């Protein structure tokens, strides 16, 4: 790297420092207030901000601006307009108004709307999110925006997220007031998303239709070596990978993204990047940029970055550990256990609220990470299971147990405050014990939601976390605001909540068979597939939750559920068609050619020496011909299953058919093909193998 990191860091971001430097004092104050309180911005202020932004962006080489948004396609969208405005036949000036900054009109008709489009107009609009910084990239000023239909229904991932951030702030502040906090004006949730990914050589990638169309291998026998030696995890970086990571860091740093940690992951050719956490809406935007840049920069190095949850069967998949916490505008992390018993009471109450939220809305947690790619991880005996549970660590477990049993906590140190229960102990946070199998783990001063998939937008998981916890806060505040004796009420509330929801706490091995049984005994949900999960999305309790907090309306929820089902079927359909194509046009012909060679060899041998031993050729011919015939039959069966599924018009029934009949047909075809791969000459096999893909970089 030629320049100093401190010089390049954030140089392409219209961040707080730039705002302070470039905006008149009053305007700066007004804008930061807007950001801090989440309120809408004044039109006159917007004009001044727009002008300053434009001048700054032009200095950074921008000629265009774009409203950057997150439609429900899972990727971001942008449409660029130049700043130029004609002022004569051959003269232009560069202009950008407050109106253009705040609001953009866009044709919404080509984005998924889940039925909203049918009912309403096709036009949509984008609205500036001033709390996420604008930035310059590729000659354009990028303005992070929310995307709504013309009638104001959310068509994107960001709008509900911003609403959920308001909800948790509003309800959380009610609780803080009860604890005597009169200063805090806003709570924000913070997120640090650790991003896992695979890297593959571009030349190999280009030879794999499945990787190109679906992001994962649909065929592939295991390589002789997998991850069993555990020699890849934290191992030395290969030089090509290291060069890629260096470029990636530099690009992310210019965008003000705190890319902090990089290392090899468990599987061969798997890696991880962790940024330093940020306010949730900003963290979501940054994660989208991280994913975009991973792909872009990999290409510059003749590599391809695979963000799919399960590019290769049989080795670890990729997830995104979503570290989440709540903090006050004064910078205090509410998930930091306090030093005094009173602070601990507040901490325990917030903990209780989160435990209750996760237990009450296990289904929403599961839905927020449900899509076909992630089904290969969750419940497939790796990563976290599909059952949602919480890991707290031994000390918190003991404290909760003592509160439920009304017993004095053994580990008690100093200063005990009587809250109507025997003790609210002081304790130090316990960060030593980490359970890697838990879907939702407390790690000292934050929760780590580990079910999130590597390719997904993290907006929805965080929308669910914020909203469900806001609901616990709301219920708690309702009770405590009306209590005669606050301390007694807090004690009772803690005991009642822990007693009612301790079933969701589990510290054992989440991958084990016993846990499946135990979870069932506890009455926990086990939504194995995405389709199972989507079905619960619009249950009355969920509609009530989202509408109570103004996060999503019934129509918005219904539209999203439709998009979930539809998207699921589309992905499975593409995978099925890709398999059919590869098997029919590449694999079966390749195996036939090889069979031809084997037959010719045997015939040639026998023509010279009629009694020669041809048992190998015979055996190969028999086994491989049978498998090839089986694969051929499987193709027909898959075609039939796919055709039957895609002809179903009801979105839910179609997704069910994809899940229950197309996927099993895909699995059957894969099984036959993978077995053929192990006995076909590598010279004839029509594509790079798992060894090539994972080890030749």
In whole angstroms, how close is the CB of 682 to ligand ADP at the nearest point?
Answer: 39
Rg (CA), the chain: 28
Q: Tell me the CA distances in angstroms from 629 to 621, 623, 672, one per residue in order.
A: 12, 10, 9
- Distance between CA 193 and CA 223 in Å, rounded? 30
Stretch that binds ligand ADP, among 184-192, 263-271, 385-393, 457-465 (CB under 6 A): 184-192
- Distance between CA 173 and CA 327 in Å, rounded? 11
Residue with Cβ nearer Mg ion (284 or 657): 284
The residue within the footprint of ligand ADP, chosen from 275, 341, 384, 453 (CB under 6 A), is: 275
Answer with the entry of ligand ADP, Mg ion, none that 287 interacts with (C-beta below 5 to 8 A by kind). Answer: none
By CB under 6 A, the count of residues binding ligand ADP is 15
Stretch that binds ligand ADP, among 78-86, 274-282, 415-423, 577-585 (CB under 6 A): 274-282
Answer with the entry of ligand ADP, Mg ion, none that 276 interacts with (C-beta below 5 to 8 A by kind). Answer: ligand ADP
Answer with the entry of Mg ion, ligand ADP, none that 191 interacts with (C-beta below 5 to 8 A by kind). Answer: ligand ADP
Stretch that binds ligand ADP, among 243-251, 321-329, 380-388, 419-427 (CB under 6 A): 321-329
The residue within the footprint of ligand ADP, chosen from 158, 163, 446, 670 (CB under 6 A), is: 446
Stretch that binds ligand ADP, among 132-140, 191-199, 449-457, 647-655 (CB under 6 A): 191-199
Q: How many alpha carbons lie under 13 Å from residue 669 in its C-beta half-sphere?
A: 30
The residue within the footprint of ligand ADP, chosen from 47, 194, 359, 375 (CB under 6 A), is: 194
- Distance between CA 165 and CA 237 in Å, rounded? 39
The residue within the footprint of ligand ADP, chosen from 10, 112, 192, 461 (CB under 6 A), is: 192
Q: By CB under 6 A, is residue 430 in contact with ligand ADP?
A: no
Grouping H, G, I as helix, E, B as strand and the rest as coil, residue 108 is coil
* Binding track, positions 284-323, relative to Mg ion; x by CB under 5 A: -------------------------------------x--
Helix axes 158-178, 280-300, angle to 10 degrees: 140
Q: Tell me the CA distances in angstroms from 334 to 231, 282, 479, one per residue in order.
A: 38, 19, 20
Residues 6+ apart with CB under 8 A from 453: 309, 318, 319, 320, 369, 371, 373, 374, 377
**At CA 475, angle to CA 472 and CA 479, rounded to 5?**
135
Considering only residues 399-428, where is the footprint of ligand ADP by CB under 6 A? none
Residue with Cβ nearer Mg ion (189 or 680): 189
Count, residues in the chain: 697
- Distance between CA 461 and CA 630 in Å, rounded? 42
DSSP, residue by residue, 500-535: HHGGGB--S-TTSHHHHHHHHHTT-----SHHHHHH
Stretch that binds ligand ADP, among 98-106, 117-125, 442-450, 665-673 (CB under 6 A): 442-450
Answer with the entry of ligand ADP, Mg ion, none that 381 interacts with (C-beta below 5 to 8 A by kind). Answer: none
In whole angstroms, how close is the CB of 272 to Mg ion at the nearest point?
Answer: 9
DSSP, residue by residue, 297-354: HHHHTTEEEE--S-SSTTS---BEEEEEEEEETT--BTTS--SSHHHHHHHHHHHHHH
* H-run or E-run covering 65: strand 64-69
* Binding track, positions 108-147, relative to Mg ion; x by CB under 5 A: ----------------------------------------
The 3-state secondary structure of 363-432, one letter per residue: HHHHHCCCCHHHHCCCCCCCCCCCCCCEECCHHHHHHHHHHHCCCCCCCCCCCCECCCCCCECCCCCCCC
> CB nearest Mg ion: which residue?
321
Q: By CB under 5 A, is residue 450 in contact with Mg ion?
A: no
Q: By CB under 6 A, is residue 277 in contact with ligand ADP?
A: yes
In whole angstroms, how close is the CB of 38 to ligand ADP at the nearest point?
Answer: 19
Do residues 624 and 595 make contact, with C-beta atoms less than 8 angstroms apart? yes
In whole angstroms, how close is the CB of 179 to ligand ADP at the nearest point?
Answer: 20
Residue with Cβ nearer Mg ion (67 or 321): 321
The residue within the footprint of ligand ADP, chosen from 101, 131, 191, 298 (CB under 6 A), is: 191
In whole angstroms, how close is the CB of 414 to Mg ion at the nearest point?
Answer: 32
- Distance between CA 311 and CA 494 in Å, rounded? 44
> CB nearest ligand ADP: which residue?
192
Answer with the entry of ligand ADP, Mg ion, none that 457 interacts with (C-beta below 5 to 8 A by kind). Answer: none
Considering only residues 328-367, where is the footprint of ligand ADP by CB under 6 A? 333
Residue with Cβ nearer ligand ADP (287 or 689): 287
Sign of the torsion angle spanned by Cα atoms 93, 97, 102, 107 = negative
Residue with Cβ nearer ligand ADP (192 or 510): 192
The residue within the footprint of ligand ADP, chosen from 195, 214, 254, 325 (CB under 6 A), is: 325
- Distance between CA 241 and CA 301 in Å, rounded? 9
Residue with Cβ nearer ligand ADP (323 or 628): 323
Helix axes 459-481, 158-178, angle to 10 degrees: 30
In whole angstroms, how close is the CB of 451 to Mg ion at the nearest point?
Answer: 13
Q: Which residues bind Mg ion (CB under 5 A)?
A: 321
Q: Which residues bind ligand ADP (CB under 6 A)?
A: 190-192, 194, 274-277, 323-325, 333, 443, 445-446
């Amino acid at each position: 790297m030629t320049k100093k990191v401190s010089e390049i860091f954030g140089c392409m971001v219209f961040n707080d420092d730039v705002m302070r430097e470039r905006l008149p004092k009053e305007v700066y104050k007004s804008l930061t207030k807007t950001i801090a309180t989440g309120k809408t911005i004044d039109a006159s202020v917007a004009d001044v901000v727009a002008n300053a932004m434009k001048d700054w962006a032009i200095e950074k080489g921008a000629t265009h601006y774009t409203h950057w948004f997150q439609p429900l396609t899972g990727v971001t969208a942008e449409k660029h307009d130049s700043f130029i405005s004609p002022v004569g036949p051959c003269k232009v000036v560069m202009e950008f108004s407050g109106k253009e900054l705040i609001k953009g009109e866009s044709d919404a008709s080509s984005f998924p709307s889940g039925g909203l489009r049918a009912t309403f107009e096709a036009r949509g609009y984008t609205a500036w999110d001033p709390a996420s910084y604008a930035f310059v990239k590729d000659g354009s000023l990028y303005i992070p925006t929310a995307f709504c239909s013309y009638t104001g229904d959310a068509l994107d991932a960001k709008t509900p997220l911003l609403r959920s951030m308001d909800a948790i702030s509003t309800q959380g502040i009610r609780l803080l007031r009860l604890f005597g906090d009169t200063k805090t004006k806003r709570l924000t949730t913070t997120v640090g998303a650790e991003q896992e990914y695979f890297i593959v050589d571009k030349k190999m990638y280009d030879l794999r239709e499945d990787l190109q169309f679906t992001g994962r291998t649909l065929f592939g026998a295991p390589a002789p070596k997998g991850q069993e030696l555990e020699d890849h995890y934290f191992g030395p970086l290969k030089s090509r990978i290291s060069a890629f990571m260096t470029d990636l860091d530099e690009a992310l740093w210019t965008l003000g993204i705190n890319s902090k940690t990089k290392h090899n992951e468990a599987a061969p050719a798997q890696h991880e990047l962790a940024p330093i956490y940020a306010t949730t809406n900003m963290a979501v935007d940054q994660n989208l940029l991280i994913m975009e840049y991973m792909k872009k920069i990999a290409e510059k190095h003749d590599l391809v970055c695979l963000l799919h949850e399960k590019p290769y069967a049989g080795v670890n998949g990729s997830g995104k550990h979503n570290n989440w916490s709540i903090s006050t505008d004064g910078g205090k992390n509410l998930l930091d256990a306090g030093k005094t018993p009173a602070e601990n009471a507040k901490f325990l109450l917030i903990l209780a609220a989160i435990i209750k939220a996760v237990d009450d809305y296990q289904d929403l947690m599961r839905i927020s990470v449900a899509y076909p790619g992630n089904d290969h991880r969750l419940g497939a005996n790796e990563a976290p299971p599909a059952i949602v549970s919480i890991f707290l660590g031994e000390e918190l477990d003991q404290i909760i147990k003592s509160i439920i049993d009304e017993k004095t906590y053994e580990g008690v140190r100093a200063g005990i405050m009587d809250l109507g229960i025997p003790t609210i102990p002081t304790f130090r946070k316990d960060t030593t014990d980490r359970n890697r199998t838990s879907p939702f783990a407390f790690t000292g001063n934050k929760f780590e939601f580990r079910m999130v998939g590597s390719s997904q937008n993290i907006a929805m998981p965080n929308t669910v976390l914020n909203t469900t916890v806001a609901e616990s806060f709301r219920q708690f505040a309702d009770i405590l605001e009306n209590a005669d004796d606050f301390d007694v009420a807090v004690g009772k509330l803690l005991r009642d909540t822990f007693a009612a929801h301790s079933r969701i706490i589990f510290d054992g091995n989440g991958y084990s068979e016993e846990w499946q049984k135990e979870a069932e005994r506890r009455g926990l949900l086990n939504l194995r597939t995405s389709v199972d999960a989507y079905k619960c999305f619009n249950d009355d309790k969920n509609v009530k939750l989202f509408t109570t907090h103004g996060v999503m309306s019934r129509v918005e929820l219904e539209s999203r559920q439709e998009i979930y089902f539809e998207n699921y079927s589309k992905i499975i359909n593409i995978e099925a068609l890709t398999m059919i194509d590869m098997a029919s046009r590449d694999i079966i012909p390749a195996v036939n050619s090889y069979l031809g060679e084997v037959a010719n060899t045997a015939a040639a041998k026998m023509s010279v020496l009629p009694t020669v031993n041809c048992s190998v050729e015979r055996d190969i011919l028999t086994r491989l011909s049978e498998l090839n015939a089986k694969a051929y039959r499987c193709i027909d069966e898959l075609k039939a299953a796919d055709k039957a599924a895609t002809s179903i018009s009801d979105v839910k029934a179609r997704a069910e058919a994809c899940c229950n009949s197309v996927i099993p047909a895909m699995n059957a075809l894969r099984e036959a093909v993978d077995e053929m791969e192990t006995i076909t000459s590598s010279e004839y096999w029509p594509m790079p193998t798992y060894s090539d893909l994972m080890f030749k970089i």
